[in-house]
Amino acid sequence: MTTATTQVYRTSNVFLAPAVIIIFSVMIVALSATLILQRAIGAISSSEWGFALFVFVFVAVMLGAATISHHRIEICNQTAKLVWFPAYRKTIPASDIISVTTKRVSPWRNGLGIRLIGNATLALMNRGGDGVLITTTDNRGYLIVISNPQELAETLRRVDGMIDRPEPN
């Protein structure tokens, strides 16, 4: 009995720029110090402490998640899997893909992270630059920024090869 081994093509993880990670980390530390200082000097009363702690934990968790976030695309078994760690995974069957192109995006215009950027397009972008734009049969777009030009070209080639095109007559 033999087992078939399926090869998975996986792009490198794309993280936030180091400067952004440092800024977010400093914000977490500064927020912690501010909360402790405010409590120590009595600016936050005992009745307000629970709410202040809740807000701090929420903001710290969001900033912490952003500092470790990354995205990639995996292609296997006629599917394209989009991953934005820690919160999102989407598997797109090849039968749902109608086109694939490149698109350049800017974090100054579109922001960072996982976001809607218009025209029913969901973008996974921890950095700006060129990405793979996959359009599906339901007219939704999925944009994945890939920072390595060779990986961008290879991803385009692989996704394009998954598209079912009618034979010419």
Domain boundaries, the chain: 17-68, 71-162
CB 14 within 8 A of CB 127: yes
Alpha helices in the chain (DSSP H): 18-40, 46-68, 107-110, 149-162
Q: What is the CA radius of gyration of the chain?
A: 21
Q: Which CATH architecture does the domain made up of 71-162 adopt?
A: Roll (2.30)
Task: Provide the pLDDT for residue 163.
Answer: 86
Euclidean distance between CA atoms 119 and 13, whole angstroms: 26
pLDDT tens-digit profile of 73-93? Answer: 999 989 999 999 999 999 999
Indicate the pTM of the whole model.
0.84
Which residues of the chain fall short of a pLDDT of 70? 1-6, 169
Task: Provide the pLDDT for residue 4.
Answer: 55
